[in-house]
Amino acid sequence: MTDWVALLRGVNVNGVTVRSADLAALFRDLGFTEARTVLASGNVVFATDAADRTDLKRLIETGLRERFGYDAWILLPTMTELRAVVDGFPFDETDAGRQPYAIFCVDEATRDEIVAASADPDLDPVAAGPDVVYWNPPVGMTVDTPLGKLLGRARFKPATTTRNLRTLLKIVV
């Protein structure tokens, strides 16, 4: 059995509401065991013998679209991969003036494009990780930095999702 983490993009914001109990029920209905949600921001931990990430992603996204009626996109790391992301955070996560984020990317090309877009290391400090961009913008400026504006573009909607390091720490416990 492999433990996976489905990171849903765009739930419980912009009018797309998915209750945690309903989300966990969907994963159980899809045949996954030990399905549990973490916080109300679209994080589901589950286990399965299935090993093909592409097939799992397609199955879950289809289930989300059919059950909840929204255009669903997820990123799907294993729990082991997620722990490596948390352990690899390169910035001072205790700095109260910064937001410790990990931007999960569907592929290295997306990751590299995001890293290259950060022209100001003081305002938009970034570092590349495995299919993730670590980002440490100032508190209160996340959507106002050049990188924040780039991430808001429609083309990144199916290709990225962002999580605060504090959220990730709650998932990996």
Tens of each residue's pLDDT in the chain, 173 residues: 999 999 998 776 666 778 899 999 999 999 998 899 998 778 999 999 988 999 999 999 999 999 998 888 899 999 999 999 999 999 999 999 999 999 999 999 999 999 998 888 889 999 999 889 999 999 998 888 999 999 989 888 889 999 999 999 999 98
How far, in Å, CA of 85 to CA of 132, rounded?
8
Please count the other Cβ atoms lying within 10 Å of the Cβ belonging to residue 171: 21
How far, in Å, CA of 157 to CA of 40, rounded?
19
* pTM beyond cutoff 0.85: yes
Chain region(s) in the chain for CATH 3.30.70.1280: 2-76
> Sheet of 132-135: strands edge to edge?
126-129, 132-135, 101-105, 160-164
DSSP state of 137: P
DSSP state of 78: B
The CATH fold assigned to 2-76 is Alpha-Beta Plaits (3.30.70)
For residue 6, what are its two tokens? 């489905």
- Is there a contact between 35 and 24 (Cβ–Cβ < 8 Å)? yes
Question: In CATH, what number does 80-171 get?
Answer: 3.30.70
Nearest to 139 by CA among 105, 171, 89, 93: 93
